[in-house]
Amino acid sequence: MKPLADEIRACRLCAVDFALTVTAHDPAPVVWFRPTARLLIAGQAPGLRVHRLGEPFRDASGDRLRDWMGIDAAQFYDLDRVAVVPMAFCFPGYDSKGADLPPPKRCAATWHQCVMLSLPNIRLKLLIGGAAQQWHLKASGVTETVRRWQDFGPEAIPLPHPSWRNTGWLRKHPWFETELLPVLQARVREVLDDKR
């Protein structure tokens, strides 16, 4: 039997759907996890740039996320300590207006539980965006969920997506930077520095 990561890389469940998008692309699952990981980043789905490069958050959103976390790229891409498990492993494509399509639900239904069971050492989950927060916390409404971040700790911290599109959201909610980010950075350091 193939290792789980290889099975996911070979997945073509959404090929027909992706061919019908504006981008008309083939599936290219971006798989980034090992059983030793202690920190989970659960997001939505890869964007087009990540689809092309094959590494998660290798874009401006990733730069902002790493800044929020207080870590550099070397720490972020340490597969032994950090897992990136989005709700869909492939770029879902764009709609006719150029907006990202939502992550296909069949991806999470097929793979997410299996992946989570393969990560026994996770001590902190960073849940980025509505789809990840719904799956992991059964919570809906990103603003309300992120506002209630203390209710989910210390094991989980919900976050908005670090996209430039959310710059207005960040300005409207200054508590995110002043209250949540210091705790996020302290927890990330604690989990990544733990020698256990």
pLDDT digits (tens, 9 = 90+) for 3-39: 999 999 999 999 999 999 999 999 999 999 999 999 9
Q: What is the pLDDT of residue 178?
A: 97
The hierarchical CATH code for the domain 4-193 is 3.40.470.10
Q: Please list the pLDDT of the chain residue by residue as tens digits (196 residues).
A: 579 999 999 999 999 999 999 999 999 999 999 999 999 999 999 999 999 999 999 999 999 999 999 999 999 999 999 999 999 999 999 988 888 899 999 999 999 999 999 999 999 999 999 999 999 999 989 999 999 999 998 999 999 999 988 999 999 999 999 999 999 999 999 999 976 6
Q: Are 121 and 115 in contact (CB under 8 A)?
A: no
Q: What is the pLDDT of residue 30?
A: 97
Any idea where the domains of the chain sit in the sequence?
Answer: 4-193
Q: For the chain, what is the mean pLDDT?
A: 95
Q: What is the pLDDT of residue 109?
A: 97
Query: What residues form DSSP beta bridges with 82?
Result: 39
Q: What is the pLDDT of residue 194?
A: 79
